[in-house]
Structure 1
Amino acid sequence: MGSFSLIHWIILGIVILLLFGGNRFSAMMKDVAHGLKSFKQGLSEEDEKKQAEFRAQQDQRQIPPAAGPMAGQQPIDLEARPSADPAPRDDQQR
């Protein structure tokens, strides 16, 4: 009682075809397919824009070659090294 049988589905399909007609139904399906294609195309264009923005950000993050007033200077050495002539400590002076 709660579910439709095969006969019910066939009758329902015939009624829908009579109401919408063959051409109208195929035109609706064509419109749905066109909508899906444009949706996918929009997604791919959006992905391409994001990738281009990401590449531009990566290019900006790269350090440019040395130019300007500090171009000839050597980089600063940050390693801790003992000096050649250490200052005497308190206990060594006594």
Structure 2
Amino acid sequence: MRDAAINLRALPEQRALIDQAAQMLGKNRSDFMLEAACDKAQSVLLDQIFFALDDSKFQQFAALLDAPTSPNPGLERLLSVKAPWATEA
């Protein structure tokens, strides 16, 4: 059961925009806003992940990043396919 309140003020046009989008997804305003806020919060947190390594582990990590890549036919095939949304230049 959700019982923690989150209150905020919005401009009428912001509220109308949110309501329109929520309605298109078959959601109420609260569910739409909570889902959108949680998605953004997770994105922000995932972009800020920090990990610490001692010098030896860091050198190992850097060597792996600097090493040449191994051939990957599946990836090469994927990258050679034109995206359906790409337009001719």
Q: TM-score range by the shorter chain?
A: 0.3 to 0.5
Larger relative CO (CA 8 A, sep 6+): 1 or 2?
Answer: 2
TM-score w.r.t. length of structure 2: 0.32
User: Which is richer in helix?
Assistant: 1
TM-score w.r.t. length of structure 1: 0.31
Larger radius of gyration between Structure 1 and Structure 2: 1
